[in-house]
Structure 1
């Protein structure tokens, strides 16, 4: 089983004040996340503004994060796109840089059928040797990978996990029931972390862990150690900030809040825009109330 941990962070990509990739700020962010109990990093996913990053920027980012992490936690590279052949080549390049796994998003815009989805992920997995995490996010990709298709894909040796951001607990339960015990399901939504754990999920690929990492870790550990009432209380306590982090398009709120707490990840790139003063005030108020 390729266990990347229970609390993974979908890491934002730090830019300098001019909007260029900042490896210096990336180093500081990685250290902050490890200090706050992140157990694995997902680099250059959608939270990392992957649509605005060039391939060269992504490869520099992968190489730098692998170097800074230095084996302390797993590094998973976001390498998927709607182009299967391109995804294969890019996944190979990421693998050569020493990442511990790759995350492959469902093909967006083209809306393939279930057989097309199966062949897409199968082809990528067959061309790399590292573990593959499927990323199912119908809200962004406009296509849902069905439970049946994910169960089929789980039979491929190095497809070891899925980040489920469908929001559909019935689908997640079907995946958990239909796959072997060594196939891991992660929640793709912070607010569903505890419900997903309760049906047999393994953990979460989190955005909120940028700013409440220790708290998220405490909630997960409370549940896994059998303190279910305590974990439920923690879930309810932190749910408002989890929701507020997605009130505006992500990762704008979390980058804003990181700067507020002294971990400057820089601005966002267009087409993302900064928060309004009203949005910023609401975000800061809810965070401070914790």
Structure 2
């Protein structure tokens, strides 16, 4: 079987902010180099970890243009083009395709959008008809209120460009159901990453890779090489921070951990708020096993 183009660790990249909430483009470009040097297979620009909901369309377009140029073919680039308005999704998607994105990632029409499967299918059908680039669907029911059923995923697989699903739901039973379809599955629930790779997920779109890119890549590679004992030993060092961050304040915690490990500024954009001193202490304790 041919290897999926987006196989491996696709790092859900942070957007580095200054203290005033403006984007630090110099740090952004430096981070791209650092993450590629760490061996990531792809970068997801405008990811949830990059605070996509709080970026304007113009900011996203600028980040994507700079990002694609900086990457210069050294790894895959996935651009999130999600929006509430379908016409905006299509406009964003066409822009991402035009500048050379390898794929686009599109949330279902969240926030009081349609939840029946015919409407959800129609939404992705409209996006699919507007582009020729690969589409990564997105299952994150805890955030959208919409769960992509296996039956719907099988229908979506019939669309010409719907090639991947990012599953951030965290339900391993559903994840394995997805794996029985023809769609390439990218794990998005950091807490089950090791087991998702073992079960057959082609890779991940991973937020916690922002602060442990080397470890994320090594874990994936060890499992591909069937070195399961070594992989699980590494996983035990990764797990304390993953479990902590999954409980809440995910973006803030990931960015602070990344800052502590030399990746980024640690700042968030409003309406998100920074972490407390107590949370900071917990973060430092949780990432301590990663320091050899």
Which residue number corresponds to residue 122 of structure 1?
125
Which residue number corresponds to residue 220 of structure 2?
220
Deviation at 1:111?
A: 4.0
Deviation at 1:233?
A: 2.3
2:191, 2:246 within 8 Å by CA — same for their partners in 1? no
Deviation at 1:261?
A: 2.4
1:178 is aligned to 2:181:
yes
Name which of 57, 60, 63 aligns with 2:59.
57
1:134 is aligned to 2:137:
yes
1:128 and 1:265, CA in 2 relative to 1: closer, same or farther beyond 3 A? farther
Name which of 75, 78, 81 aligns with 2:77.
75
Greater mean deviation of Cα atoms: 118-127 or 195-204? 195-204
What's the CA shift string for 1:132-158, capped at 9, x where partnerless? 100110010011011111111112121
Deviation at 1:226?
A: 1.5
Q: Which runs of 5+ in 1 are unaligned?
A: none
Greater mean deviation of Cα atoms: 4-13 or 227-236? 227-236
1:266 and 1:168, CA in 2 relative to 1: closer, same or farther beyond 3 A? closer
1:161, 1:184 within 8 Å by CA — same for their partners in 2? yes
Q: Which runs of 5+ in 2 are unaligned?
A: none
1:40, 1:73 within 8 Å by CA — same for their partners in 2? yes
Greater mean deviation of Cα atoms: 279-288 or 232-241? 232-241
1:249, 1:272 within 8 Å by CA — same for their partners in 2? no
1:47 is aligned to 2:49:
yes
Matched residue of 2:136: which SS?
strand
Greater mean deviation of Cα atoms: 1-10 or 26-35? 1-10
Corresponding pairs, count: 287
Matched residue of 1:222: which SS?
helix
Matched residue of 2:169: which SS?
coil
Deviation at 1:266?
A: 4.7
2:258, 2:266 within 8 Å by CA — same for their partners in 1? no
Which residue number corresponds to residue 25 of structure 2?
23
2:93, 2:104 within 8 Å by CA — same for their partners in 1? yes
Deviation at 1:267?
A: 1.5
Which residue number corresponds to residue 203 of structure 1?
203
Greater mean deviation of Cα atoms: 48-57 or 75-84? 75-84
Matches within 5 A, 1:187-198: 187-198=187-198
Which residue number corresponds to residue 110 of structure 1?
112
Looking at structure 1, the residues matched to 181 and 19 of structure 2 have their Cα atoms a distance apart, in angstroms, of 47
Looking at structure 2, the residues matched to 166 and 245 of structure 1 have their Cα atoms a distance apart, in angstroms, of 15
Greater mean deviation of Cα atoms: 53-62 or 198-207? 198-207
Looking at structure 2, the residues matched to 266 and 23 of structure 1 have their Cα atoms a distance apart, in angstroms, of 14
1:148 is aligned to 2:143:
no
